[in-house]
Amino acid sequence: MFGTSGVRGPVGEDVTAELALRVGHALGDRDRVVVGRDPRDSGRLLVDALAAGCRECGVEVVDLGVAATPTVGRAVAWEDADAGVAITASHNPAPDNGIKLWQPSGQAFDGPLREEIEARVRADDPDLEAWDGLGDRRAADATDRHVAALVDTVEDCERSVVLDVGNGAGGVTADALVGLGCHVETLNAQPDGSFPGRPSEPTPENCESLATLVREGEADLGIAHDGDADRMRAVAGDGEFLSGDTLLAVLAADAAESGDSVAVPVDTSLAVEDFLAERGVETVRTPVGDVYVAAAAAEDGVTFGGEPSGAWIWPEETLCPDGPLAACRLAALDAERPLAERAAEVPTYPIRRENIETEAKTAVMERVRETVTTEYDAADVSTLDGVRVDRDDGWFLLRASGTQPLVRVTAEARDPERADALRETALSLVDTARSE
């Protein structure tokens, strides 16, 4: 039920008011819970249901209204709460919604906490209070405090920025950038959970208008968020929409010094590792998912964590992916030296990605794991998340999709022909496993 991104799916099917009520009941042993939502209209009833479940158990609910997910994550500590709940489907399309839970540290609920909540949701045996023991519900605004925190953290910079809010909850970024001295032009700034301006996920295809405005205008850079603003993607001043790996390398190089480490998921490009190694910075691999990156970023010596999908974590600030913070830091970096120049220094290697359909993805991956651990040296194999095999000149990764009947295949090398060869090796492993 609860994956690394909480519960997420179509409203009225996977995500219902009944489910939200049960999650509220499952949080009933807490004293105070912060809730916030992205602009999807379905979020109104989900917040009401979840808040009712909490209050029935005597829990005080602090309602932030429409708020970016990183605002919710930060507000758990600000409100001296025991947990936070973001009602959001993040970058998913309008028919979806979701429920994601946050710890006071800003980190999403980890595996043990998710298992505990899921067991309580399934049991739905809450300890309900009598009429005079119900929890209160009060409104609060944490957005202004989030803006102030960003302005206090990042150096002032006079940049011209085009900000594509994606009709989501990322307006906090505009206010923070203005507070830092930037001129900001917005796209799709009106919060609207039907996402009329563009699909919520900030991909190159969905952000063509942003790239065109930056390229044809006089802006220094462009910023794009998803629906709840936990993700941040960027366009350099020349109009190039930067790949997630390039952006990860640029942000990590700024956050880490020689001897430091940064946390990255197992599907991160080898180019990031090479780029950071030249600067004396080590990469620590994690399973895919911001909760895992955050857990690694919380360790001593790890100064930054990031995912190429657009989740960026500075552990000294918060363990929640903070898209607005990333946007402000990127603007400050561009003020020191143009983003396009920084991006040009990051190598680009050929990478191959394919999805293989199979209704038996779990069995297929188990057979792949058995084969790989038998045929390859143990030092070259990682089963941290799926099966990854490292070679001297590249790597390949096979992972079962968490939401679809697919096995995802990724192969990368410094040479195109070698990347193709590694891809063929990986595909052959899947084909053999499917036929057994």
Distance CA 107, CA 292 (A): 9
CB 291 within 8 A of CB 110: yes
Distance CA 436, CA 426 (A): 16
Strand partners, 234: 223
Q: Crossing angle of helices 111-123/17-26, nearest 10°?
A: 110
Report strand pairing: 394-400 vs 387-391. antiparallel
Which strand ranges, in their side-by-side order, compose the sheet holding 32-37? 7-10, 96-102, 83-87, 32-37, 60-66, 137-139
DSSP letter, residue 412: E
Location of structure tokens 């992205």: 38
**From 90, 200, 243, 269, the catalytic residue:** 90
Query: Is 90 marked active-site?
Result: yes
Question: What is the total residue count of the chain?
Answer: 436
Distance CA 76, CA 336 (A): 34
Cβ count near 162 (within 10 Å)? 23
350 in helix, strand or coil? coil
What is the DSSP code string of 289-345? Answer: SHHHHHHHHTSTTEEEEEETTTEEE-TTT-SS--HHHHHHHHHHHHHHS-HHHHHHT
Q: Give CA 313 to chain center in angstroms.
A: 9
Please, which residues have CB within 8 angstroms of residue 32's CB and are 6 or more apart in sequence?
59, 60, 61, 62, 79, 80, 81, 82
Distance CA 81, CA 83 (A): 6
Which strand ranges, in their side-by-side order, compose the sheet holding 221-225? 183-187, 160-164, 221-225, 232-235
Residues recognised as catalytic: 90
